[in-house]
Amino acid sequence: MRHKILKLLKDRSPSYLSGEEMAQLLNVSRTSIWKNIHSLQSDGYRIKGSPRLGYRLAGIPDLLFPAEIAGELQTKIIASSPEIIHHYRQIDSTNSALKTLAEKGAPEGTIVIAEEQTGGRGRMGRSWSSPFSKGIWLSILLKPPLAPQDTPLFTLLAAAAVVKGILVNLPDLPVGIKWPNDLLINNRKVCGILTELKAEADLLHYLVIGIGLNVNSKEEDFPAELRNTATSLYLENNKEEVSRQKLASSILQEMDNSYLDYLNNGPGMVISAWKKYNITLGKDVTIKTVQGSFSGKAADLDSDGALIVEEEKGIKKRFQAGEVTLENFTGGQDPF
């Protein structure tokens, strides 16, 4: 009902629509209309009321409501209907919430999106700062009929899709991927991706891909210890705000396009898209792993997503996991 009233108001905007007309069109009571209008207003929708003319939609808040995100989407799987878009003003962690939904049988393509995370998580159990309405804190449920060994390709897919989604909105931003899936602008981290999974040894049950993208964060929105190493689209876009609704829609659309292409045609496009936007290959890197640290030139991306590093003596090593530091950035090292 809420969605339907919102749609009527949007279609009529910027003109007025009377409560009586809405009640008739939707076959509900005037009281029900009034209650839903009130609920929309309390969510931040600017709806003006006039005793004679009725209601008029004067402004939509830049919050990530299912109706606002789904409106622009042409997706086949991911967030393909408002019912599988779970929006929260505040939540512990979108990944944790989505894993709970997955355990209860949520369908593929279900997403959890929140205005604020109180316990946002990054890789290796690190915390992820996620203040209210400043970023896109989004998790996507996928169930590809593949093995857990194929997971790294999905994290690469997600990184490239987020870059594409950003560039649709901000075509000139110099955003690049640090292996495997950190997004950097001017040597500062703007987005991290945390992929979690449940599986049998050779069959994925589900993947939860969590995306944390700093959008409209000002400097003071970052914890002090991150101010030199993190950035946001706002800060890199001449301090102009970016529509989170449009950005979320673009990212979901690019994710869906890439995922369908992978399912239909295999991972070729994933690898080529990642390579196109990466800023890792060709650089001198140090990679920290549980087995120790290794230095060399990032020579190539293997077909399974592993990073191939060439040591000084020409010996090539494959890495499926690790923390990469890019050595030749200004300042001598990458701070992540």
Residue 72 or 196: which CB sits closer to a copy of itself? 196
Identify the bridge partners of residue 111 per DSSP, sorted by sequence position.
85, 140
Binding mask 299-318 for a copy of itself (x = CB under 8 A): -----x--------------
Binding of a copy of itself at residue 183 (CB under 8 A)? no
Chosen residue from 151, 216, 250, 325 binding a copy of itself by CB under 8 A: 151
What is the smallest separation between the CB atom of 274 and a copy of itself, expressed in angstroms? 14
Residue 181 or 187: which CB sits closer to a copy of itself? 181
Return the residue matching tokens 């992929």: 195
What is the smallest separation between the CB atom of 194 and a copy of itself, expressed in angstroms? 7
Distance separating alpha carbons of residues 87 and 133, to the nearest angstrom: 12
What is the smallest separation between the CB atom of 277 and a copy of itself, expressed in angstroms? 18
Task: Tell me the C-alpha to C-alpha distance, in Å, between residue 85 and each of 125, 196, 329.
Answer: 26, 19, 39
DSSP string, 263-278: HHH-THHHHHHHHHHB
Task: Give, for 208, the enclosing helix (H) or strand (E).
Answer: strand 203-214
Q: Three-state SS for 42?
A: helix
Binding mask 42-71 for a copy of itself (x = CB under 8 A): ------------------------------
Task: Give, for 85, the enclosing helix (H) or strand (E).
Answer: strand 85-91
Binding of a copy of itself at residue 123 (CB under 8 A)? yes
What is the smallest separation between the CB atom of 263 and a copy of itself, expressed in angstroms? 11
Binding of a copy of itself at residue 264 (CB under 8 A)? no
User: What residues between 191 and 230 interact with a copy of itself by CB under 8 A?
Assistant: 194-203
Q: Which residues contact 82 (CB under 8 A, 6 or more apart)?
A: 3, 66, 67, 70
Residue 134 or 178: which CB sits closer to a copy of itself? 178
Binding of a copy of itself at residue 292 (CB under 8 A)? no
Residue 243 or 320: which CB sits closer to a copy of itself? 320
Binding of a copy of itself at residue 93 (CB under 8 A)? no
109 backbone φψ class: left, alpha, beta (φ>0; ψ -120 to 50): left
Give the rounded distance of the alpha carbon of 40 from its chain centre: 25
User: What residues between 127 and 146 interact with a copy of itself by CB under 8 A?
Assistant: 145-146
Binding of a copy of itself at residue 148 (CB under 8 A)? yes
- Show the DSSP H helices in 66-216 as ranges: 66-71, 94-103, 151-169
Whether the Cβ atoms of residue 137 and residue 163 lie closer than 8 Å to each other:
no
Binding residues vs a copy of itself (CB under 8 A): 123-124, 145-149, 151-152, 154-155, 180-181, 194-203, 290, 304, 320-322
